[in-house]
Amino acid sequence: MTMAHTPEIEAAMEKFAAILEEQNIRIEKMKKEKDFVDYSKLDKIIIGVCGGDGIGPAITSAAQKILEFLLADEIAKGKVEFKVIDGLTIENRVAANKAIPDDVLAELKACDVILKGPTTTPRAGDPWPNIESANVAMRKELDLFANVRPVKVPDQGIDWTFYRENTEGGYAVGSKGVNVSDDLAIDFTVATSDGCERIARAAFEYARKNGKTKVTCVTKANVIKTTDGKFLKTCQEVAKDYPEIELDDWYIDIMTAKLVDPKRRTGFQVVVLPNLYGDIITDEAAEFQGGVGTAGSANIGKRYAMFEAIHGSAPRMVLEGRDKYADPCSIIRAGVMLLSHIGYQEQADKLERALDICMYEEKKLQITGRDTGCTGMEFADYIMDTIKTL
């Protein structure tokens, strides 16, 4: 005979059961998913441009202008089409009381890839209700399981590509923790076999295609034994299919330390890790290259992919009428990843080269975030003029 639980525990167990059911459904879906889209086989690639909040629309339209310029022939042929998706704003999300309003989600799902500006995530003390982050919701809704974040500082020998798992870990049911009683709060972290395997394979495939010789798996499997243990074990299994690539295994604490060790950090190439560790360490990593504002980020799934700036929506700049002076370089970097992902590597390389010239080498125009510098659109024009010279 089992002992009766307190009503508080009974209630918590019911919530836990619902979470388990939901995760089992997700596993079933993963088991049925098809392989990655082959963009070359699509009649038309639809690129959604979703401005988001704050400075988002201003910087995103600057990036769109450049992509349209680079893809002009493809647009003329009807192979590529751009669609602007308004409405992923905090005001609309609050009105619909949803992380992503239904009509916006339907528009997103009608695209193949999405270029997304920053969206506001409400936090304690904000005037908004506590709706889920639009980012996190979009990653889940479109099953964008691989968050790919490159960081490069060539003169310091840094060339890292992070493969952050993007749909599981502490984020899977992050908004569904349980306050069991006044004294006890519990959150959940999730690892599934399919979820671990697909991110591990994505990292190894990337390594193989790009001539990398090492993949580093980062966990805290000595303490978070079950879920991180599964992640690590799965990476070790997948590694057997890639005998030419070495797998090494680090704990997140010492990995975080070694990233600031100039002698050790140049040894890392591709890093694969669970969601929360990936969130934290990619901010640290981006700092070496000039901060999160300089980094682009790709969120890749088998059917959809979304490319974004990793900085925030800077509402203060809009309040002060300075959104047109916002720096579009992070979202333009995301545009480089988008072009490469859909198969336009030549255009991606040109854009990356032009960005490096304009941002770090020639620096004919400066962005200061105010009228002492140029506007984001002027910078976009500068990049396009530079591309013409390549």
Q: Give me the residues that bind ligand IPM (CB under 6 A), please.
A: 121, 133, 135-136, 279, 310
What is the bridge-based pairing of β-strands 246-251 and 270-273? unpaired
Nearest-approach distance from CB 307 to ligand IPM, in angstroms: 12
Residue 268 in tokens: 């890392």
Q: In whole angstroms, how large is the CA radius of gyration of the chain?
A: 22
Residue 183 in tokens: 């004294």
Say how far apart CA 235 and CA 282 lie, in whole Å: 20
Nearest-approach distance from CB 118 to ligand IPM, in angstroms: 8
Which residue, 235 or 310, is less far from ligand IPM as judged by CB? 310
Which residue, 65 or 140, is less far from ligand IPM as judged by CB? 140
Nearest-approach distance from CB 220 to ligand IPM, in angstroms: 18
Residue 118 in tokens: 């920053």
Find the binding residues for Mg ion in span 108-127 (CB under 5 A).
none
Which residue, 33 or 279, is less far from Mg ion as judged by CB? 279
Helix, strand, or coil (residue 284) = helix
Q: Which residues of 95-131 are buried (b: 16+ CB within 10 A; e: fewer)?
A: eeebbbbeebbebbeebbbbbbbbbbbbeeeeeeeeb
Which residue, 71 or 144, is less far from ligand IPM as judged by CB? 144
Nearest-approach distance from CB 278 to Mg ion, in angstroms: 8
* 10 Cα distance to chain centroid: 37
Which residue, 172 or 357, is less far from ligand IPM as judged by CB? 172
Give which of ligand IPM, Mg ion, none residue 133 binds (C-beta under 5 to 8 Å, depending on kind).
ligand IPM
What is the bridge-based pairing of β-strands 246-251 and 214-219? parallel
- Report the candidate in 97, 100, 74 with the shortest Cα–Cα distance to residue 85: 100
Among 132, 246, 249, 279, binds Mg ion (CB under 5 A): 279
> What number of chain residues touch Mg ion (CB under 5 A)?
1
Question: Could you give the residue ranges of the DSSP H alpha helices within the chain?
Answer: 7-32, 56-70, 72-77, 90-96, 102-109, 134-141, 193-209, 227-239, 252-258, 262-265, 275-288, 315-319, 329-341, 345-356, 376-388
Which residue, 113 or 298, is less far from ligand IPM as judged by CB? 298
Amino acid occupying residue 77 = K
How many other CB atoms sit within 10 Å of the CB of residue 369?
Answer: 16
Q: Is 33 in the site for Mg ion (CB under 5 A)?
A: no
Helix, strand, or coil (residue 84) = strand
Nearest-approach distance from CB 54 to ligand IPM, in angstroms: 13
Which residue, 61 or 121, is less far from ligand IPM as judged by CB? 121
Give which of ligand IPM, Mg ion, none residue 81 binds (C-beta under 5 to 8 Å, depending on kind).
none
Nearest-approach distance from CB 313 to Mg ion, in angstroms: 14
Say how far apart CA 111 and CA 245 lie, in whole Å: 35
Which of these segments, 16-24, 92-100, 276-284, 318-326, binds Mg ion (CB under 5 A)?
Answer: 276-284
Which residue, 60 or 121, is less far from ligand IPM as judged by CB? 121
Which residue, 80 or 310, is less far from ligand IPM as judged by CB? 310
Nearest-approach distance from CB 279 to ligand IPM, in angstroms: 5
Nearest-approach distance from CB 108 to ligand IPM, in angstroms: 17
Amino acid occupying residue 254 = I
Give which of ligand IPM, Mg ion, none residue 136 binds (C-beta under 5 to 8 Å, depending on kind).
ligand IPM
Cα-based torsion angle of the residue sequence 327, 330, 336, 338 in order, rounded to the nearest 10 degrees: -120
Which of these segments, 135-143, 204-212, 235-243, 275-283, binds Mg ion (CB under 5 A)?
Answer: 275-283
Give which of ligand IPM, Mg ion, none residue 294 binds (C-beta under 5 to 8 Å, depending on kind).
none
Nearest-approach distance from CB 147 to ligand IPM, in angstroms: 7
Give which of ligand IPM, Mg ion, none residue 227 binds (C-beta under 5 to 8 Å, depending on kind).
none
255 with 274: CB under 8 angstroms? no
Residue nearest to ligand IPM according to CB distances in the complex: 133
Residues that bind Mg ion (CB under 5 A): 279
